[in-house]
Structure 1
């Protein structure tokens, strides 16, 4: 009995004494999970705050792009592609707006507001990906400037429609790389 207690105490003391720090190395683990479009889309609800909604769904540390995990970058890129597909492919916003009778019907207006919010989603994800790549050594300055201009335009459109009903589409896709 005494021997078992001594061994157990020794093992416990050894595990407590093991080093736990990682020195000067910084370990950054991914913060994003693969999701279905229905879970990461921001088009439902009301217009006016799409950028904040996107940032809440994709909580990347925007103060330290250089340390963003490679998996998170790939998830951002995949989500951006899905958001673009939700706008332009069959069953997406363009088809839904046309089926609703255009942008001037009440249903079409709500879908158009959702489409603008979806554009903010798509463009913010692209801007984030480009900023991450730039911080990690890739020259993205030209493309980043173009995408930032598009993002700014769509954020203003979303803000101008603040309070209006915004509708999403039932689009199938994921953020899986």
Structure 2
């Protein structure tokens, strides 16, 4: 009988008492791109228990890790895939139009979501035995840049896209 790494890790997590915190959600439920700019990082923390995970990185369950990975990938897809921000901004006539500007602010907020989840994932993997030092530094640099862009645009209207996706592993 052959077990997948995820199944084996889930079993070990259950034995060690790791609790699942997350449940699968549609992108529309975990996206943060509506509203206004300025607090994207806090909005991510309101959707995902980032600080709870960071308090015990090695103890994050395999199920939660898989959901975080899927959510991060969906956030990235919402930026680049058909129906995502890049396509919507182009269809709106670019980021210098009124609608395009709102979408661009939403895209930056989405990047904060994607990069915060990516950083968290790498930190979890590092705590669970994989060397992710260089990747963590790279993602945190990109995250800091996008947080600054979001904060510099504080109060500007932000618009999401109607992207179909979810956090199912």
Pairwise TM-score range, normalised by the shorter structure = 0.7 to 0.9
Deviation (angstroms), 1:59: 0.7
Name the structure with the higher helix share: 2
Residue 42 (structure 1) aligned to one of 10, 32, 46: 32
Query: Are residue 128 (structure 1) and residue 120 (structure 2) matched?
Result: yes
Q: Which runs of 5+ in 1 are unaligned?
A: 1-24
Deviation digits for residues 92-135 of structure 1, max 9, x if unmatched?
A: 00010011111111111100000000000100110000001111
**Structure 2 length as normaliser, TM-score?**
0.88
Deviation (angstroms), 1:26: 5.8
Query: Are residue 52 (structure 1) and residue 38 (structure 2) matched?
Result: no
CA RMSD of superposed structures (Å): 1.1
Distance in 2, matches of 1:56 and 1:135, equals 23
Distance in 2, matches of 1:36 and 1:80, equals 12
**Structure 1 length as normaliser, TM-score?**
0.84
Distance in 1, matches of 2:16 and 2:77, equals 36
Larger radius of gyration: 1
Distance in 2, matches of 1:92 and 1:67, equals 34
Distance in 1, matches of 2:18 and 2:81, equals 35
Residue 71 (structure 1) aligned to one of 60, 63, 77: 63
Where do residues 88-127 of structure 1 align in structure 2 (5 Å cutoff)?
A: 88-127=80-119
Deviation (angstroms), 1:28: 2.2
Deviation digits for residues 27-65 of structure 1, max 9, x if unmatched?
A: 220111100000000000111101111111111412111
State the 4+ residue runs in structure 1 displaced beyond 4 angstroms.
none
Deviation (angstroms), 1:80: 0.6
Q: Which runs of 5+ in 2 are unaligned?
A: 1-14
